[in-house]
């Protein structure tokens, strides 16, 4: 089982950097505004669907896993360029992944109530599936391994990503419009599979945990426990629909026996309250999840060496509290530095600089 403990970065001073676990590539090539499909929005106006593709520059590997990033925004706002997605996509590409950040159809028809919100989520997940099919069709051009396609969504994007990964047509509510009754939809590249091989949901949710069955791909779920927008457990919401967030998702994944991981941030609100330490810890957690999947290693933690150019300076716990400042003479020492500082066992975010730029690492003290 891919448990949360198995996702902590085990840092070692020995060995070389490892593809997918470390940022090996200095430069990234970006191809913006690629049309991956088209479909009518809630007003029945046909909308072109765009994605940006990020690839590691000067990469000699020609078959690589891809991470599709799905933005949040309550199904009414947001874009592939917004929030931190450009940064996350670049960081994924620097690790050796192909990354694709997508736009999808936005808008809620009429009042914010169960039917209109569910229909908005179904349009979004149809577009996510279309992006999967498009990238599968272009795999030979983009150097993508079609057996390693992963989804990463935040908030509404997490809902769409989860639905694209697990929802089946016979589970679609019967009250939605006819165009949304087929989960595959008609947004583009028909006839190819939209199967994915892993999904990360950041403060996302499902409307029914029973949609997650033993055939679901591995899931990592990340959430703040004080999220008042999308609950981390199951609860009514202001959207007029019951949503079941990360804690409920992980419980269901455990019950049906699929690989999963759960990371909760106690006291954090929606989008982890925008806390940069939390967000960087979130990225480190999900990036290691994808690296484990990409290397077909979901039961053990590969060691990730400390970059030679990384200089420590401050340690935070997962509540965002500064708990240690490393003395100058200890800068550059490996992860045992933390235990030498007298910190108890646990998971910490260490801030510093790498090659002169701000950088952070998620460190486990055994």
Q: Specify the pLDDT at position 364.
A: 59
Question: How far is Cα 75 from Cα 63, in angstroms, rounded to an integer?
Answer: 33
C-alpha separations of 85 from 47, 67, 91, 141, 176 in Å:
22, 12, 10, 23, 31
Q: Specify the pLDDT at position 343.
A: 57
CB-based contacts of 44: which residues, under 8 Å, 6+ apart? none
Q: Please classify residue 175 by burial: count the beta carbons closer than 10 Å to its beta carbon, then call 0-12 exposed, 13-18 middle and 19+ buried.
A: exposed
Q: How far is CA 199 from the centre of its chain?
A: 7
Helices (H), the chain: 85-94, 114-137, 139-142, 156-166, 246-256, 276-294, 336-340
User: Any idea what DSSP says for residue 315?
Assistant: E
Q: Specify the pLDDT at position 356.
A: 59
Q: Specify the pLDDT at position 318.
A: 53
Taking each helix axis from N to C terminus, what angle separates 276-294 and 85-94, rounded to the nearest 10 degrees? 40
**pLDDT tens digits in sequence order for the chain, 366 residues long:** 433 333 333 333 334 678 998 999 999 999 999 999 999 999 999 999 999 999 999 999 989 999 999 999 999 999 999 878 999 999 999 999 999 999 999 999 877 788 999 999 999 999 999 999 999 999 999 999 999 999 999 999 999 999 999 999 999 999 999 999 999 999 999 999 999 999 999 999 999 999 999 999 999 999 999 999 999 999 999 888 999 999 999 999 999 999 999 999 999 999 998 999 899 999 999 998 999 899 864 333 333 344 445 565 676 655 555 666 654 444 554 444 554 455 555 666 666 666 656 666 666 555
Q: Specify the pLDDT at position 366.
A: 54
- In angstroms, the first-to-last Cα distance of the chain is 20
Spans of all domains in the chain? 18-301, 306-365
Q: Specify the pLDDT at position 6.
A: 35
Query: What CATH number should be reported for the domain whose range is 18-301?
Result: 3.40.50.1820
Kindly report the pTM of this predicted structure: 0.79
Q: Specify the pLDDT at position 298.
A: 34
Question: How far is Cα 226 from Cα 297, in angstroms, rounded to an integer?
Answer: 33
> What is the number of other CB atoms lying within 10 angstroms of the CB of residue 267?
14
Question: How far is Cα 185 from Cα 123, in angstroms, rounded to an integer?
Answer: 8
Instruction: List the structure tokens of 152.
Output: 């990463």
Q: Specify the pLDDT at position 353.
A: 64
Residues in the chain: 366
Question: How far is Cα 286 from Cα 20, in angstroms, rounded to an integer?
Answer: 12
Q: How far is CA 71 from the centre of its chain?
A: 10
Instruction: List the structure tokens of 159.
Output: 């809902």
Residues 21, 288 contacting (CB under 8 angstroms): yes
Residues 124, 42 contacting (CB under 8 angstroms): no
Q: How far is CA 39 from the centre of its chain?
A: 25
For CA atoms 291, 37, 183, 138, give the dihedral sign.
negative
Question: How far is Cα 56 from Cα 25, in angstroms, rounded to an integer?
Answer: 6
> What is the number of other CB atoms lying within 10 angstroms of the CB of residue 327?
11
Residues 119, 42 contacting (CB under 8 angstroms): yes
Among candidate residues 85, 134, 294, the one with its CA nearest the CA of residue 198: 294
Question: How far is Cα 330 from Cα 327, in angstroms, rounded to an integer?
Answer: 6
């Amino acid at each position: 089982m891919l448990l949360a403990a198995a996702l902590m970065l085990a840092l070692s001073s020995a060995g070389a950097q490892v593809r997918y676990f470390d940022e090996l590539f200095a430069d990234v090539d970006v191809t913006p505004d690629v049309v991956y499909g088209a479909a009518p929005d809630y007003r029945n106006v046909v909308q072109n669907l765009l994605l940006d593709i990020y690839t590691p520059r000067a990469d000699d590997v020609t078959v690589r896993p891809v991470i599709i990033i799905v933005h949040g925004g309550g199904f009414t706002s947001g874009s592939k360029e917004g929030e931190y997605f450009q940064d996350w996509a670049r960081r994924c590409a620097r690790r050796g992944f192909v990354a694709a950040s997508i736009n999808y159809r936005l808008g809620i028809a009429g009042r914010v109530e169960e039917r209109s919100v569910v229909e908005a989520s179904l349009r979004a997940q149809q577009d996510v599936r279309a992006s999967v099919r498009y990238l599968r069709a272009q795999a030979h051009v983009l150097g993508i391994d079609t057996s390693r396609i992963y989804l990463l969504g935040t908030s509404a994007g997490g809902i769409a990503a989860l639905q694209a990964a697990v929802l089946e047509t016979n589970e679609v509510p019967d009250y939605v419009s006819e165009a949304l009754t087929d989960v595959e939809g008609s947004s583009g590249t028909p006839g190819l599979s939209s199967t994915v091989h892993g999904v990360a949901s950041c403060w996302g949710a499902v409307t029914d945990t029973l949609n997650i069955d033993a055939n679901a791909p591995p899931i990592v779920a990340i959430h703040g426990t004080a999220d008042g927008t999308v609950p981390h457990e199951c609860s009514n919401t202001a959207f007029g629909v019951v949503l079941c967030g990360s804690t409920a998702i992980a419980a269901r994944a455990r019950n049906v026996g699929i690989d999963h991981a759960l990371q909760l941030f106690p006291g954090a609100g929606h989008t982890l309250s925008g806390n940069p330490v939390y967000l960087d810890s979130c990225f480190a957690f999900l990036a290691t999840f994808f690296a484990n999947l990409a290397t077909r290693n979901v039961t053990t933690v590969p060691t990730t060496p400390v970059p030679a150019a990384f200089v420590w300076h401050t340690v935070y716990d997962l509540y965002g509290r500064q708990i240690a400042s490393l003395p100058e003479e200890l800068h550059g020492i490996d992860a045992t530095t933390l235990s030498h500082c007298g910190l108890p066992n646990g998971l910490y975010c260490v801030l510093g600089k790498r090659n002169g730029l701000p950088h952070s690492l998620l460190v486990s003290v055994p």
